[in-house]
Chain A
Amino acid sequence: QKEVEQNSGPLSVPEGAIASLNCTYSDRGSQSFFWYRQYSGKSPELIMFIYSNGDKEDGRFTAQLNKASQYVSLLIRDSQPSDSATYLCAAITRQRLYKLSFGAGTTVTVRA
């Protein structure tokens, strides 16, 4: 079983809609979770991280963490064509604080 799993997509949403991305993890010791955005041909860019249960908002992005169910999600409100990218979910555990485990990524396309 992979440590971090994501819906592979692709996810297509109309401009202005909410894009919802999901990620599950297998290690209950995971303590911090990260969302990266990667445009085609570019390196990943950190957009949010979360370590407490509940919601964390930053502009149009909201990360949600549910440790009991072992999932973390990312909502993108008012989606724009510039949000079209691959979104990578990653997790870190207490035992391996320096090692991020990445999901394979979800590709999002925002239709104008």
Chain B
Amino acid sequence: DGGITQSPKYLFRKEGQNVTLSCEQNLNHDAMYWYRQDPGQGLRLIYYSQIVNDFQKGDIAEGYSVSREKKESFPLTVTSAQKNPTAFYLCAVARQGSSYEQYFGPGTRLTVT
């Protein structure tokens, strides 16, 4: 995750507030992703973007929004409509190629009370 940064590492919010999680990469990879991980569970895809100014919903997009205005940045907003926002949020990047392997950032742990 050397070229992928997520900030902040820990985030605390009150219920009803929107919050934006940052993801920045300097790997020049085209594709970026947001996943959510709950305790003892696998990763679930929220949104992904293959190119600038374009993104697609993943499996659990409700209550989330994203933007992709720059290749390096893919911020995720957790809105007040998301019923259970407390989770570990992971950003990943991938380059086009034969393997499409994804590399993860360090993650942001969001707690909403």
State the A residues within 8 Å of B (CB).
32, 34, 36, 42-46, 49, 51, 88, 92, 97-100, 102-105
B104 touches A43 (CB 8 A): yes
* A-B pair number, CB within 8 angstroms: 49
Q: Which of B60-68, B78-86, B94-102 contacts A (4 or more CB under 8 A)?
A: B94-102
CA distance A15 to B31 in the complex (A): 39
Q: In the complex, which of the residues B43, B50, B107 contacts A98, with contact meaning CB atoms closer than 8 Å?
A: B50
- A29 to chain B minimum Cβ distance, whole angstroms, is 14
Residues of B within 8 A of A49 (CB): 99, 101
Nearest chain B residue, comparing its CB with the CB of A104: B42
DSSP class of A's interface residues: helix, strand, loop or mixed?
Answer: loop
B113 in the interface, Cβ–Cβ < 8 Å?
no
Given contacts A46-B101, A49-B99, contact A88 B42 (CB under 8 A): yes
B45 lies within 8 A of chain A by Cβ:
yes
Q: A106 CB to closest chain B CB, in angstroms?
A: 11
Assess whether A88 is in contact with B43, with CB atoms less than 8 Å apart. yes
Whether A32 contacts B99 by the Cβ 8 Å rule is yes
Asked whether A43 lies within 8 Å of B107 as measured between CB atoms, the reply is yes
Interface: B41 (CB within 8 A): yes
Of A43, A45, A102, which one neighbours B42 at CB under 8 angstroms? A102
Q: How far is the CB of A31 from chain B (nearest CB, A)?
A: 9
Smallest CB gap from B107: residue in A: A43
Separation in Å of the A101 CB from the closest CB of chain B?
9
Residue contact B45 to A99, C-beta cutoff 8 Å: yes
Q: How many whole Å from A105's CB to the nearest CB in chain B? A: 6
Asked if B31 and A98 sit within 8 Å, CB to CB, the answer is yes
Q: Does B106 contact A (CB under 8 A)?
A: yes
Question: B102–A100 contact, CB under 8 A?
Answer: yes
The residue in A45, A92, A99, A105 that gathers the most chain B C-beta atoms within 10 A of its C-beta is A99
The one of A36, A88, A98, A105 that contacts B94, using a Cβ cutoff of 8 Å: A98
* Chain B contacts for A34, CB-based, 8 A: 101-102
Structural contact, A98 and B104, CB atoms closer than 8 A? no
